[in-house]
Structure 1
C-alpha cells in the first residue's frame, strides 16, 4: 500500500512550477525531474533513483507528439517507456502537478488518490510537490517498477524564510531565453518505497530534489552538477549548470555561454549568476570544475567520475533522442567561503560520492572552457 502521511500545502512554492504550454502550434517541450537519494553504508554508496518525464508538441499532429518516462536507477541502470496518448497526459497551470497514463482509466486524466491510482493504473505516473507515484513495465524483461513516496519540501530556490526565486532571474518570465530552467525544490525529505528489479527499497528522511525545463527552442550544449546527499552536511544542497542558451525571440536568436551556481546551507541561499564572475572548465566526460565569485562570497566546485555514465534521452529538434550522459555516483567537492576583512573565511566545505553529473548536447570535441 502507498505510504500514509499528511499532504500540507508546499511551504516553499517556486516560480514556474505550473505547466507552460500556451496551446499554440509549433515545437514545444516540457520536462520534469524528480530524484531521491538513499543513504550509504560503511561499505557501499547508497543508490539514487532519478525520474525524468517529458511531453512534446502536445497540440498533436507532429511526428514528435507524445510523452515519455525515464528512470536512472541503482548502478546507473536505465529504463524508459513512451506514452504516445496525448489525451492521457495532464498538468496543472498554476501549481506543480502532472501525470500520464499509459493505460485507459475511467474518467478525465487527473490526480488520483494513491490507493485509486494503485488499483486502476497499470502503467503511468503522477507527481506533485508532495507526492510522487508510478508504475512502468519493461516489455523486454517483463519486470515491473513501482514507486510511491511523499515529499516534505525544505528549500525551494532562495532563503528558507523568503519566497522562492526564479532560478535564472526575472528575465525568465519573458520569452527571450530558450529553454527555460527552474529548480523546483533544491532540497526536501522523502518517505515511501520503490520496487526496482525485484528489490523493494523503503526509506525515510531520504534527500529529494526536483527541477524542470521547457520551451520552443532546444538546448545545444550543456553541463549539470548537483548534490544534496552530503552525509556530514544534511542541510547542504548544491546545483550548478551551464550551457549554450538562445537569446532573443525565435527565429532571431543568438547563442551565449552562461553558467550559475546555487547553494542552500543552513537556511541561507548563496547565488552566483551570469553577471558575477563564473569560470567553467568541463571535460566531455569525467571532470567538472566551476569557480565563482561575487562581492561577498566565492565557491569552488569539483565533480569527477570514474564511471562511464549512462546515455539518456532528451527533447531535441529531432525529437527525444540520446544526447546526454549522466551518473548518480559522482564525486562532488564544494568549498564555499565568505569575504572577511582582507581574506576569506570558510562557510562550508564538504564532499559526497552521491553527486549527479551530466554533459549533454555538443559538439564535445575537447574541453569546454568559458567565463561569464
Structure 2
C-alpha cells in the first residue's frame, strides 16, 4: 500500500509492484545529438500477459533518421525496479532519471554506452495534481496512465551503435512513460523540444478514453516555455476547436479562457514500434522522429506569447482515428 501511494506522486517510478498479469509499463527516452543528425528513442519496459507465455521485458530502439526499429526481448525475470524511484534493470541494461546504460548485442543491433542527463524538467507534481494526469491519476481503473518525466534536458556521453561511436555531448533529450492495461483504441501524440528558443518544449496526446462503460475523447497538452507550463487538458476545462488529419498533416486548435494554442505538424517517415495490446506486445505503431511542427500560443486578447518551429518532432497517429476526429 505504501509503495502504491508513493507511486501516485512519483510518476517516474515503476507502478507495477504486485502486478502479475494484464499489465504493461514503458519508459520513453528520446535524445538528439548536437548536430541533429542522430535522433534516437530508447524504450525499456515490461509486459505481463494474461498468459504467462507472453510475459517478458524489453528494450526497443528507434533510429529516427532511418526509421529502423528493433525490439530486444528478455525473460520477465530479468526485469527489476526500485520501489522508491526510477531505477530499472532490463536484462543487462540500466535506466534512471538522470542516465541510461545500454548493453545490447544481438542479431538485430549492437548498442553500448552511457548517456547522462542534466537539468531534467518534469511536469510539475502537486498534492492535488500528481503530474500530467491531473486528478485522473487517482482513478484506479484507467486503461492507460501517462507521465511526462522531462520536457527538456541536456545530454552528455556517447554510444557505440553497430561499431560506430556517436557523441551526444551538447545534445537535448526528452522523457515520458505510459503504464496500465493497454494503449488506447485510437490516439494522436506529438512532441518536440528543438525550437530556436532553447528549453521550450511541447507534448500533446489526444486519445479515446474508456470510462464507466462508455468512452470520451480526452487530451493533454503541455507547452513548457520560459520556465512556465501552459496546460490544456480535459480536466482543465480546455476545448479542442479543430482537429484535422490528412495523409500529410495534422492541424490542432485548442483553447481555454486565457489562451489559444495552434499546432500544425507535417508527418514524416517513421519506424514500426511494438505497443501493448491486451493479448501481447504487437508491432503496429508507426512513429516518426522527423516530423516538423509549428506552434503558436496566443492570449485571448490576441497577443502572441510564443511562435516557433519544432524540429526532430515525434509524431504518432494510430488506431481507429475516426473516433477522435469526429
- How far does the alpha carbon of each residue in 1:142-177 deviate from its partner, in whole angstroms, 9 at most, with x for none? x52113111113421139x99994102022122132
Aligned pair partner of 1:247 in 184, 191, 211: 211
- How far does the alpha carbon of each residue in 1:310-335 deviate from its partner, in whole angstroms, 9 at most, with x for none? 11111111201112111111001100
- Contact preservation (8 Å) 2:42, 2:61: yes
Task: Tell me which residue corresponds to 1:131.
Answer: 99
Task: Tell me which residue corresponds to 1:346.
Answer: 304
SS in 2 for 1:172: helix
What does 1:1-372 correspond to in 2, within 5 Å?
A: 15-40=10-35, 45-57=36-48, 62-73=52-63, 74-84=65-75, 86-101=76-91, 124-140=92-108, 143-158=109-124, 165-230=130-195, 232-248=196-212, 253-274=213-234, 275-279=237-241, 281-283=243-245, 285-305=247-267, 307-339=268-300, 343-360=301-318, 362-364=319-321, 369-370=325-326
- Contact preservation (8 Å) 1:156, 1:164: no
Larger Rg: 1
Task: Tell me which residue corresponds to 2:5.
Answer: none
Distance in 1 (alpha carbons) for counterparts of 2:245 and 2:58? 29
Report which stretch shifted further, 49-58 or 181-190: 49-58
- How far does the alpha carbon of each residue in 1:111-157 deviate from its partner, in whole angstroms, 9 at most, with x for none? xxxxxxxxxxxxx31111111111212315xx521131111134211
Distance in 1 (alpha carbons) for counterparts of 2:285 and 2:122? 26
Count of paired positions: 316
- Contact preservation (8 Å) 2:208, 2:323: no
Distance in 2 (alpha carbons) for counterparts of 1:176 and 1:257? 17
Distance in 2 (alpha carbons) for counterparts of 1:285 and 1:33? 26
Distance in 1 (alpha carbons) for counterparts of 2:245 and 2:107? 36
Report which stretch shifted further, 201-210 or 294-303: 201-210
- How far does the alpha carbon of each residue in 1:236-268 deviate from its partner, in whole angstroms, 9 at most, with x for none? 0100111111224xxxx4222111210111111
Distance in 1 (alpha carbons) for counterparts of 2:9 and 2:41? 20
> What is the Cα deviation at residue 303 of structure 1?
0.9
> What is the Cα deviation at residue 81 of structure 1?
0.9
Q: Cα distance 1:55–1:164, how it changes in 2: closer, same or farther (>3 A)?
A: same
For structure 2, list consecutive stretches of 5 or more residues without a partner in the other structure.
Answer: 1-7
Q: Cα distance 1:14–1:301, how it changes in 2: closer, same or farther (>3 A)?
A: farther
Q: Cα distance 1:66–1:54, how it changes in 2: closer, same or farther (>3 A)?
A: same
Distance in 2 (alpha carbons) for counterparts of 1:285 and 1:51? 27
Q: Cα distance 1:164–1:198, how it changes in 2: closer, same or farther (>3 A)?
A: farther
TM-score by length of 2: 0.89
The two structures, once aligned, show a CA RMSD in angstroms of 2.5
